[in-house]
Structure 1
Amino acid sequence: MEEYIFKQLNFARENTIKMVSHMDDATTEIIPEKLNNNIKWNIGHIYVIQEKFAFSFAGERINIPENYDRFFAPGTKPLEWSTEPPSLIELLDLLTMQNQRLELILSKRLDEKVLHSYTTSTGLKLTYIREFLSFCLYHEGMHFNAIKNIKSILS
């Protein structure tokens, strides 16, 4: 039986990708006035955090390319980037493959406890793989909204 959480994750991801797939790299790297980040940072950040929350906490191998933490980890900013960031195409390919890997690797483990519980910055304690995936939905939704707002400012 297919778990609804994967339908939700795919729905969120498809909408995130659709929101930016027609954009060019240069536009995704514009940082609007009074903001710290751009569209590309939000896309990369969604990917990096989901790798950690979905795979690392479950004890699985993560697929975070070299330098991605320097670009997209919490607290990073595009103004601090000293090397060329990955292309939008590369990020979108990773986002697409990530959810496929998620379902393949974790679909039968949703009710397992993770190796170490985690409490988010907002105080939510996550203990089971299902809870981490559910939090990923919330996280992606927040950054989807940030992307939507930046697109609105840029248009």
Structure 2
Amino acid sequence: MDILYKQFEIARNGLLRELNNADEGEVDVQPEGFNNNIHWHAGHVLTVAEQFLFGFPDNSSHLPQDYKELFGNGSSPANWPANVPSVQELTEQLQQQLERMKQIPREKFDEKLAQPFLGAETFGELAAVAVIHETNHAGRINSMKKAVNK
């Protein structure tokens, strides 16, 4: 399963590169045709990876409980309160999460899920789904940056 650790690293570093290369003025702009903004995507990837890999919110205390409402599926920056974590804070949490991802024991990847989820039947397959999810959102961030700067 060394390939999964490498995929975690490649996908996360690509996402972090996109976020680090985003101008402060563009992260909260919601371009026409997009449902969210770059800021939301940063928190969404963090939150979903925490849900998939660490059982957030029930089994993980690495993120604040309100992240599920702020960044989970179906959430929107249009409904955010005034005190949302900054992209810088989310970026730091994404970096910390990557280190935790690389510490997942190899044998964990062979564990069967209680029930299949998004086509995944083992924890390792779910981890692969998390990587795919992350790269999908990195691509959306890249597209949004282009749309904002048109």
TM-score scaled by length of structure 1:
0.86
Matches of residues 1-155 of structure 1 in structure 2 within 5 Å? Answer: 3-56=2-55, 61-114=60-113, 116-120=114-118, 124=119, 126-155=120-149
SS in 2 for 1:27: coil
Structure 1: distance between partners of 2:106 and 2:60: 16
Offset at residue 45 of structure 1 (A): 0.5
Count of aligned residue pairs for this structure pair: 148
Structure 2: distance between partners of 1:93 and 1:41: 15
Q: Which amino acid aligns with 1:98?
A: Q
SS in 2 for 1:28: coil
State the Cα deviation string for residues 16-47 of structure 1 (Å, max 9, x = none): 10111133444211111232200011111111
Structure 2: distance between partners of 1:132 and 1:34: 29
SS in 1 for 2:108: coil
State whether residues 37 and 78 of structure 1, in contact with CA within 8 Å, keep that contact through their aligned partners in structure 2.
Answer: yes
State whether residues 43 and 67 of structure 2, in contact with CA within 8 Å, keep that contact through their aligned partners in structure 1.
Answer: yes
Offset at residue 55 of structure 1 (A): 1.3
Q: Which amino acid aligns with 1:3?
A: D
Structure 2: distance between partners of 1:128 and 1:13: 21
Offset at residue 141 of structure 1 (A): 1.4
Query: Please, what is the CA RMSD of the aligned residues?
Result: 1.9
Classify 1:112/1:10 alpha carbon distance in 2 versus 1 (closer, same or farther; 3 Å): same
Unpaired runs of 5+ residues, structure 1, are none
Classify 1:82/1:60 alpha carbon distance in 2 versus 1 (closer, same or farther; 3 Å): closer
Offset at residue 11 of structure 1 (A): 0.3
State whether residues 25 and 87 of structure 1, in contact with CA within 8 Å, keep that contact through their aligned partners in structure 2.
Answer: no
% identity of equivalent residues: 28
